[in-house]
Amino acid sequence: MSDHIKGQSTGPKTVDGKAVSSQNARKDSIFVQGYLPWEDQDEKRQQFGAMTKQWNAKDPSRQMLLRSIEQCQLGIERMMYIERKKIEGLMQSTTIAYEFCERAGLSDKIAHALPDWFFLEDGDSERRRANKVALIYDEAADFKARYSDQLAARVKDVYPELFGYVMQGQKEGVSFLMTLGQRYKQAAVTLNLATLMNELKERWEFHFIWAQAPSRYQTIIDGLRAEQMELAIDLDKSQRYATNLQNRMLKGFSALAALDQHEALMKNQQKLVAQVENTPNGVLEMSPKASASKKTDSGDSE
């Protein structure tokens, strides 16, 4: 059965308790002021509530110290947010095309024409396509150089990428060579393969450039991105700022711990004073064991 009678208030009973309770809504209102749009106010309230519970911060002094700690944490989070947004913006920039061409040994005349997927993080699908197109081209070149009726009979197994490119959209069982001839309309298989290779070169010009050295090109781009980030973010300043906020947080926690120690000492002193006041003649009574010890010491001295 519930310990509370239905309809009976379960809130604070004392005058001080009721005063504190009446200010809760007001304190929450003050606490959410000054937040930025991207900050989760509910999450911040929960975090502060957890700290309040951890430090038993029911008095104004502890509340003020916890607010200062919370503000330091907000400062660190906001600094990290700003830096992350700067980096994300740089990662979407394509302004490094000319520097890339210079370091990669490519003509600067094509810098303005390089597609965005060369430099953007979400260009992975096109970079994978570049590798696949290059593989199709290599298989077509090898098939053209080694062409024979026997090899043509095994084209699906020997040149799977080339087979898939030519036969895309065709029904199962359709002849590869027939489809190749109908598509490129040349008099010989090797001429059809040569036409296919030219088609790939014309259609996927920049994919072939990337496929020449994908790992090297990506390393160059990563290096250029790192240089951009270094210029955009003052790492020394950020570290000093973060260290300053962390030191302020540590001082706040130290102040809370010192406050706890001070209050514990005061309570012990008050307890001793109360014991003295309640003892006849203002002298604390010793325990039997302590009294016996004193008598023994007295006897030895005689």
Helices (H) and strands (E) in the chain, counts: 15, 0
Cα separation, 82 vs 79, whole angstroms:
5
For residue 286, the model assigns a pLDDT of 52
295 three-class SS:
helix
Cα separation, 67 vs 65, whole angstroms:
5
Q: Over the stretch 15-30, which tens digit does the pLDDT of each residue have?
A: 555 555 545 444 443 3
Is residue 115 within 8 A of residue 126, CB to CB? The reply is: yes
Tokens of 141: 């070149």
Cα separation, 266 vs 273, whole angstroms:
10
Cα separation, 230 vs 214, whole angstroms:
24
Q: 152 CB contacts (<8 Å, ≥6 apart)? A: 176, 177, 189
Q: Which residues of the chain have pLDDT under 50?
A: 1-9, 22, 24-32, 290, 301-302
Domain ranges in the chain? 19-90+235-283, 104-231
Q: Determine if the pTM surpasses 0.85.
A: no
Q: Over the stretch 55-96, which tens digit does the pLDDT of each residue have?
A: 989 899 999 999 999 999 999 998 888 888 888 887 777 889
Q: 271 CB contacts (<8 Å, ≥6 apart)? A: none
DSSP per-residue codes, 178-191: HHHHHHH--SSHHH
